[in-house]
Amino acid sequence: MGTDFLILMKQEWMVIAIIFILMFIKIGSNEWKNERILNLVNILLLINFILGLFWNQEGTLFNEMYKTNPLIVAEKNILSLGTYIIALQAYSWLKNHQHVLEFYILLLSTLVGMFFMISAGNLLMFYLGLELSSIPLAAIANFDLEKRKSSEAAFKFIISSAFSSGLLLFGISLIYGLTGTLTFTELSQHLNGNPLEIFAFVLFIAGFGFKISAVPFHLWTADVYEGAPVSVTSYLSVISKGAVLFVFVSILYTVFKPIAITWYNILFILSVLTMIIGNLFAIRQQNLKRFLAFSSIAQVGFILVGISGASREGSASVVYFVLIYVFSNLGAFGVVGLVSALSGKENIDDYKSFYKNNPLLSWVLAISLFSLAGIPPTAGFFGKFFLLISGAGQGNYLLITIAALNMIVSLYYYLKVIKAIFMDPNDNPIEKLAIPASPKLALFICVAGIVLTGLMSYVYEYIYSLATSF
Amino acid sequence: MKYFFLQATLSRSLPFGEAGGALTHILFLSTTLFFIGMYGLFTRRNMITILMAVELILNSVNINFVAFNKYLYPGKLDGIFFSIFVITIAAAEAAVAIAIIINLYRSHHSIDVEDASELKY
């Protein structure tokens, strides 16, 4: 027993160690230059990601409060990789910022929260992880203190996240009243589908809907994404959303298994609404960050189709899609963030003739958008393909047809941006931007991920071999 | 009269067995508090008041947990521990929210939500 908790919680301990190193630097010396701190953080996060791949064990701790298995380890590694890419991309934004260390301390605290949330085997642990992953995020959404939009976005974020966790908690309290336990393994034996349970479950799913921004609960998303700094936006849209999706799948597939028919119907309605409204609103956006916000809402709709499959393929395809989504969305956000940090421009109109002076960035943005749209050679196609296959396993072809039609609609607005970059004439396009080394590395990782993840079939096979069966 | 009818229906239909009678009153209180909080969240225009409405929602959850623990599962302390954690986290949440509101006041010179409406559609 003695050293069990050191080995099983290895990934959490490593992130906590990084937080402490940064704190010591913060207390110890003010002499460090920003470049040096940023490079140090990037190296530490790379070490964290690489060490996360090895020496992982399976087991439970603290009376089933904490559990870990190969699938959870893989999910945590995806999140670590995404955080590393974001840290590389944040370089050009944070280089001249006064409070670099605070940013990373808050960011990594949320990562620890997500790790605990994914590993939770108990509703209390899950709730604590969820809050640890959302409260510091509100603080860093306001990280550009003097910007009006930034503080407005942070306010909207903290209120909607507090409200959503209130809904979630009310659901949890009713479930506790009905079953008398908070442990996941015991909960699934007690649920039988009486009306109060359904009510609790609806509150539960409303809380989750806020976190993953499914449609009736998506209203905060676009505002927060536009107002927050780009690095925080990409963290919110990829890492935070991905972590909640992982937990969502595992809770639906294990705890709420007895009421699978109910949640299938709820997911059916939610995913149709999410896809349609996300797509329609994305069409009319002018600001690229807002555009990517609505596109990420539409992507969640497709993910919900995959989850509704309720099978081993469902679990595997969601993890696989989130891996691809990390690469493609971070590629797009990387370019947008770089352009916003270096030239201050964020509108689609500003990107006209972007190709003329910045061919490299244009190609990265185009490949990422193709992957988000799901065009075959890129990984995005395979991700969406597996999601739809998993959804089709339920035999509801209406849902699959709607999803397929929505993919065509989404092509329209992704291609609109690509048309602006490559074809539209512009008298004074954005001048040539000098890309620092670390964002360049991040973009390279993203493009490599987009191209290779789809073609190397054993990535999916590996994830499938880990996935929980339903 | 109406209330007693409601209470009778509730205690018959809720699956809580023997303890249903006393528990129903408390559940009635906590559910009311929950919806008052929700109403306040959607109608209030002052940011601090909105925050207080969220606290009402969290407190209704605490009442639920403590009541369920006392009447239905007195042998274990899961519910009481959960409510302690909820109180702690609500405090942390309020601290961050008030810090954000203070910062917003510096730039907007107001804590009315109508004045913070640059981000739309």
Phi, psi at B45, each rounded to 5°: -110, -15
pLDDT tens digit string along A297-331? 999 999 999 998 888 888 889 999 999 999 999 99
Please report residues of B whose CB lies closer than 8 A to that of A227.
119
Give the DSSP letter string of A73-128: HHHHHHHHHHHHHHHHHTHHHHTT-S-HHHHHHHHHHHHHHHHHHHHB-BHHHHHH
* Mean pLDDT in residue range B98-109: 90
Interface of A with B in 214-253 (CB under 8 A): 222-223, 226-227
Confidence check: pLDDT of A82 > 90: yes
pLDDT grade for A1, boundaries at 50, 70 and 90? low
In chain A, how many H helices and how many E strands?
Answer: 22, 2
pLDDT tens digit string along B45-94? 899 999 999 999 999 999 999 998 988 888 888 889 999 999 999 999 99
Q: Do A159 and B92 touch (CB under 8 A)?
A: no
- Closest CA in chain B for residue A168: B61
Distance CA A36, CA A438 (A): 12
pLDDT grade for A39, boundaries at 50, 70 and 90? confident
Distance CA B14, CA B68 (A): 13
Query: How far, rounded to the nearest angstrom, does the alpha carbon of residue A241 sit from its chain's CA centroid?
Result: 3
Note the pLDDT of residue A59: 79
Q: Do B61 and A227 touch (CB under 8 A)?
A: no
Mean pLDDT of chain B: 83
Tell which residue, B61, B62, B54, B60, has the closest CA to residue B38. Answer: B54
* Burial class of residue A434, CB neighbours in 10 A (0-12, 13-18, 19+): exposed
B46 Cα to chain A: minimum distance (Å): 12
* A103, A140 Cβ separation under 8 angstroms: yes
CB-based contact, A149 to chain B, within 8 Å: yes
Mean pLDDT of chain A: 87
Note the pLDDT of residue B14: 57
Chain B residues with at least one Cβ partner in A under 8 Å: 14-16, 34, 37, 41, 47, 50-51, 54, 57-58, 60-61, 64-65, 68, 72-73, 76, 78-79, 81-82, 85-86, 89, 92-93, 96-97, 99-101, 103-104, 107-108, 116-120
Q: Was domain B2-9+18-113 assigned CATH 2.40.170.20?
A: no
Q: Do A177 and B86 touch (CB under 8 A)?
A: no
- Closest CA in chain A for residue B108: A148
* Interface residue of B39, B61, B114 to substitute, partner A, most A CBs within 10 Å: B61
CB-based contact, A337 to chain B, within 8 Å: no
Please report residues of B whose CB lies closer than 8 A to that of A173.
61, 64-65, 68, 79, 82
Q: Do B96 and A139 touch (CB under 8 A)?
A: yes
Q: ipTM, 2 decimals? A: 0.86
Task: Output DSSP code: residue A338.
Answer: H
Q: Do B64 and A128 touch (CB under 8 A)?
A: no
Confidence check: pLDDT of B1 > 50: no
The β-bridge relationship of strands A66-68 and A59-61 is: antiparallel
Q: Do B61 and A169 touch (CB under 8 A)?
A: yes
Residue ranges per structural domain of chain B: 2-9+18-113
Note the pLDDT of residue B15: 57
